[in-house]
Structure 1
Amino acid sequence: MIASSARILVADDEECVHRLLRRALPGEAYRVVSAATSQEALARALAEVPDLIVLDVHMPGQGGLEVLAELRRDCRTRLVPIILLTGDAAPEDRVRGLDGGADDYVSKPFHPSELAARIASALRRSRADVGANPLTRLPGSPTIEEEVNRRIDAREPFAFLYVDIDRFKAFNDVYGYAKGDAMIRDTAALLTEAVAAEAASAGFVGHVGGDDFVLLCRPSGAERLAQHAAGLFDEGLAAHYAAADLDRGFLECRDRQGSWHRSPLCALSIAGVTTERRRLDHYAKVVELASEMKAYVKSRPAGGSAFAFDRRRDR
């Protein structure tokens, strides 16, 4: 049994497949959404980012393997487990799918309980492999480090953006953990949206933990990405605060000593380092430089979201 409700996208033009899976997957553990065409499957996958996709290889319009390739190119769905369904038994078709990034292959006709077991197994593997944050389901610290090291080893130019929600503790103390979790989830969603818009296949979004995130992209698009993310966060603040707090522009809360003080509204601090100016040859160095820049950004007077990039050059 999966611990939290998992969103499963079933992309198949046969209605009987959708009916079978809805019966086989318990409603308290899964939420099944459907797509009948490849175009609908792509649109729903990119808009909703499910936890797992069951994808028919032979669908009207664009084929399932082409859809698979597009999903693997997009930063939003690159790590989503995908199980392919097909009526073909040819080994070469299975090899093509697995080589293209599929996590498993199931032949039609299938037994619903077997496919349900494969779905549960793929979800467990995926969450263990990426160290996914249970709240946002974004890749955690181990995968962030692995992705940075991959780019270093490949000598691939990249920008590393460290994202922190300023004054989140005060918000959490005043509004409670449920509201705090909602802000974290919404921040994860808007960061993913910004990366998809500005970085495309070169983008990556990770959740270090708490209110800290990491974005990766090409150096040329780093400032646009930071600006986009900051703008989305500031635009969405109204959904999280009471009207009176928004009008005042601050919260009244107690510090650890029990004294009342005013805490400005939350904002993003985004600190960036890129391979354009620094020789980033080790993950620890990347994190060290980004932490220095984060301290600089957070030292600014309270206000809206802001970002800064390391302009220093190696000697």
Structure 2
Amino acid sequence: MIATRRKILVADDEDAIQRVVARGLGTRAYELLQAKDGREALELACERAPDLIVLDIHMPQKSGWEVLRELRGNFKTRSIPIIMLTNQKAVKDRVNGLELGADDYIGKPFSIEELKARVAGVLRRTQLDLCSNPLTRLPGSPAIEAEVCRRIEAALPFAFLYCDIDHFKPYNDLYGYARGDEVIQETAYILLESLEKTETLGAFVGHIGGDDFVVVTRPDDAPPMAQAITSLFDERRARFFNAEDFQRGYIETKNRQDIAQRFPLLTLSVGIATTQNRSLRHYAKVVEIAAEMKHFLKSDPARRLSRFAFDRRRDS
């Protein structure tokens, strides 16, 4: 995967502040996005998915407080780290910002050195704290295993949904890694949005890596959750293809033997392991069962829609 610069959104209506930030962060390491009011900041945050937001409190259209609340309430933006710009003496503003979900603050006036240090520090802490995948910002494999083990140790019933994008490699070969990354990001959004659509509480969403994702939830919530995920993916997959490929229902590219071959459009396979019928006491066993169900779905060469399958077996 080609490395890309970190995107930083700077939301401040003062031209002087924008110039200072541009001097401090306008390097090869960062791509700067600029917003002059709160409404524009929200639009850019949703459209461009920045890696970090530097957000002023006092702005036209919407205040920094309003923007912060909306960002933290939106499934697409709630995990983006935010640094608030405040007056050096406004202790109350700093406290309010941290309570509302800001990750750090910088008092005005500030030095370029402090700005660089705080931005680098927040990005570093965010990466380490979440053990996250840098593309989706979802928790990675260590956090997924820890979540499942926590539920096992607490004797909590759970369902483990193993989600895998079908035919992703030929798609990547034909459309390129940048388009492939967009598919990965949209899939992450679909999983998070499905939580909201089904009003699922206490669920966990993780990104193992590549085109593999995991949802851990209660057994009763798994059927509507799986239905929402597969339906949303099929509804949105048209945006992944050019009109000609989507209309004819397949893509054509070279296979692993370097021979031209037709491949179906992208679909999602969701294999599900649950504690309803079985005693699952080891993380590796949970993954093994869910993977078996996923491979069962992938074994159907005629399938053209996303599907999910539960492990219905019982302990002997």
Contact 2:207 2:214 in 1 (8 A): yes
1:308 corresponds to 2:278 = no
| 1:64-123 deviations in Å (ceiling 9; x for gaps) | 678657655665444432223332647787566556654323223222441233112221
Contact 2:86 2:93 in 1 (8 A): no
Instruction: Please state whether the residue corresponding to 1:296 is helix, strand or coil.
Output: helix
Instruction: Please state whether the residue corresponding to 1:4 is helix, strand or coil.
Output: coil
Contact 1:199 1:217 in 2 (8 A): no
Instruction: Please state whether the residue corresponding to 2:22 is helix, strand or coil.
Output: helix
**Mapping of residues 233-252 of structure 1, within 5 Å:** 233-252=233-252
Partner of 1:36: 37
Contact 2:42 2:67 in 1 (8 A): yes
Q: Which amino acid aligns with 2:161?
A: L
The alpha-carbon deviation at position 141 of structure 1 amounts to 1.7
Partner of 1:85: 85
Contact 2:88 2:109 in 1 (8 A): no
Partner of 1:289: 289
The alpha-carbon deviation at position 137 of structure 1 amounts to 4.2
1:140 corresponds to 2:133 = no
The alpha-carbon deviation at position 48 of structure 1 amounts to 4.9
Once the two structures are overlaid, the 10-residue window that deviates more, 167-176 or 296-305, is 167-176
Partner of 2:212: 212
Uncovered stretches (5+) of structure 2, i.e. residues with no partner: none
Partner of 1:162: 162
Q: Could you state the TM-score of these two structures normalised by the residue count of structure 2?
A: 0.75
CA RMSD of aligned residues (A): 4.0
Uncovered stretches (5+) of structure 1, i.e. residues with no partner: none
Partner of 2:121: 121
- Give the 3 Å change call, closer, same or farther, for CA 147–97 of structure 1 in structure 2: farther
Determine the C-alpha separation between the residues in 1 that align with 2:40 and 2:93.
Answer: 23
Contact 2:75 2:193 in 1 (8 A): no
Aligned residues: 312
Contact 1:81 1:103 in 2 (8 A): yes
Partner of 1:8: 8
| 1:21-66 deviations in Å (ceiling 9; x for gaps) | 23432165122243634x7766664565431233446778998678
Contact 1:45 1:77 in 2 (8 A): yes
The alpha-carbon deviation at position 307 of structure 1 amounts to 1.3
1:172 corresponds to 2:172 = yes
Q: Which amino acid aligns with 1:287?
A: V
Percent of aligned pairs with the same amino acid: 52
Instruction: Please state whether the residue corresponding to 1:270 is helix, strand or coil.
Output: strand
Determine the C-alpha separation between the residues in 2 that align with 1:232 and 1:217.
Answer: 18
Instruction: Please state whether the residue corresponding to 2:287 is helix, strand or coil.
Output: helix
